[in-house]
Amino acid sequence: MERRRHARIFLKAYGLNQSCRVHMDGTDRIAQIIDISPGGSRMLLADGNAMPAQGVRGTLVRGENFQLAYLRDVAYTVAWVNGSEFGASFDVDLDASVSGLQADLADLAG
């Protein structure tokens, strides 16, 4: 059963490979954003370190190779972990609609 409140936007569909800095468990790490919606994101941690546990709180600090004002200091909770991917459920929805996210990603893609 689908529990998401928002449609997901797959960055690969825009030809994007966007990384962000996340802070959790007292450490900053670099994560690749796989998909995003106003309510959360699926991210890949490929640094070989331990994966966070479900329920861990974190912050999406900022984009590494891109900048979007509403993707700064976004608090989240790890909703699930599968291999080297995890789902981040944002504490507060982003200040962007799905169509707004799509437009911003299209601009990033050029």
Contact of 24 with 61, CB cutoff 8 Å = no
Contact of 4 with 39, CB cutoff 8 Å = yes
The DSSP annotation for 14-68 comes to GT---EEEEEETTEEEEEEEEEEETTEEEEE--SSSPPPPTT-EEEEEEESS---
Overall domain count for the chain: 1
Residues 19-62: pLDDT tens digits? Answer: 999 999 999 999 999 999 999 999 999 899 999 999 999 999 99
Structural domain that includes position 65: 9-105
pTM (2 decimals)?
Answer: 0.91
What's 70's domain CATH number? Answer: 2.40.10.220
Determine, yes or no, domain membership for 21: yes
Residues 58-101: pLDDT tens digits? Answer: 999 999 988 899 999 999 999 999 999 999 999 999 999 999 99
Determine, yes or no, domain membership for 97: yes
Determine, yes or no, domain membership for 1: no
